[in-house]
Structure 1
């Protein structure tokens, strides 16, 4: 059985959704957010970050995007995303990598600006730059979604759920919904999904 180490407000939201879509059982293990680094947890998550998925064979996989891609490979035909040789595979990899390396990293710089500067006086500038990056990057998604129902192919994939989470982390939700209408169109459909709405309750990414 899979073991998912996670906590509310983390990328574990996406992995919970992926496991639910795959229809596989998993053990949910909540990892408290604490400064006291647990040596045992550090063995499976050297950065002391969640989510981490432990596979049935005991292999631990951190990083939300990596776990999502792996689950799509392990559970083909479950709507997680196209696997090698299937239509849309290139776009699936492209958008997952783009969101993980661009939007997610800008999110981190906004919420943890102290990690990006050694100058306390530079905190505000780091946050301002992070929002500017998010603006540019989410605008790219918005243009890509123009005239499309989903980010990849003709059906929902875990890439859409990943986008939903990252957009929900944008610091001004009212502005986000107003200036990115095509992103909002897809996100609104996802927010209305009963399974995702139930998963959202502990994460509180959008109002119930």
Structure 2
């Protein structure tokens, strides 16, 4: 398998799942803005497989392509079920983990794109500031919902499933790292703070978190 990745991008969560599960894969850094010719070549190679140029993109051994960070993370977790990065199929715990994984991927992730790249979504630059303000308010509300939900099942443990770590914890840390006001938000979100610290200090995750340069806003 070949995973196309770049700094501070959505490839972190699926790659972290792969690292935790001990999967073998090839990684190709893809950055069309880089001065490094290899990274620019990686981006051109990526576009051959995915014309939209999205990171992450995963190319399977048979040439089939998987996109979307949540889908790749789920695929990696299913390749190594003994790593237990998801609860068993059919269990209430699995439903809980998937619910919040999809909330992060379908609700918060797209709104973060509005906040970070408003020029992509407005007809004229004059509208960009209003879009960012609206996106910030929506993201703040979403993280308040996350903070409340963490207390419903976590009990005394730091993770979505209490003492049991799962891929939803990785995805939460990644999406939170993109929030412009991450430090301020954590100051009023003790459950989220605890989850973040417990996740990014895991022995296999800490080096990857540092390589991806995701901690600047904390």
Is TM (by shorter chain) over 0.5?
yes
Shift of 1:41: 2.8
Is the 1:72–1:82 contact (alpha carbons within 8 Å) kept by the matching residues of 2?
no
Aligned positions of 1:43-122 closer than 5 A: 43-122=48-127
| Residue in 2 that maps onto 1:163 | 172
Give the equivalent residue in structure 2 for 1:13.
12
8 Å contact from structure 2 (residues 14, 73) kept in 1: yes
Partner of 1:124: 129
Could you say if the C-alpha distance between residues 182 and 89 of structure 1 is closer, same or farther in structure 2, counting changes exceeding 3 Å? same
Q: CA–CA distance in 2 between the matches of 1:132 and 1:187?
A: 22
Question: Deviation of residue 4 (structure 1)?
Answer: 0.7
Q: For the residues of structure 2 that align with 1:172 and 1:161, how far apart are their CA atoms?
A: 19
Report what 2:189 is aligned to: 180
1:112 deviates by 0.6
> How far apart are 1:156 and its partner, in Å?
0.8
Q: Would you say the 8 A contact 2:150–2:160 is kept in 1? A: yes
Distance 1:202 1:136, change over 3 A: same
Change (3 A) 1:195 1:39: closer
For the 8 Å contact 1:5–1:51, the answer to whether it is kept is yes
Deviations 1:92-150 (A, max 9, x none): 22111110111101111111111221121111111111111111111111001126122
Backbone CA RMSD of aligned residues: 2.2
Distance 2:26 2:87 in 1: 26
Q: What whole-Å deviation, never above 9, does each CA across 1:34-91 have from its counterpart, x for those lacking one?
A: 4999665334223211111122222110110111112222221213212422441211
Task: Measure, in 1, the Cα distance between the counterparts of 2:98 and 2:13.
Answer: 16
TM-score relative to the length of structure 2: 0.86
Name the CA distance, whole Å, in 2 between partners of 1:65 and 1:51.
Answer: 10
2:22 corresponding residue in structure 1: 23
1:200 match: 209
1:16 CA displacement: 1.5
Number of matched pairs: 207
The 2-side partners of 1:153 and 1:98 are apart by 19
Is residue 19–residue 205 contact of structure 2 (8 Å, CA) maintained in 1? no
State the SS of the aligned residue for 2:140.
helix
Give the conservation status (yes or no) of the 8 Å contact 2:77–2:86. Answer: yes
SS at match of 2:66: strand
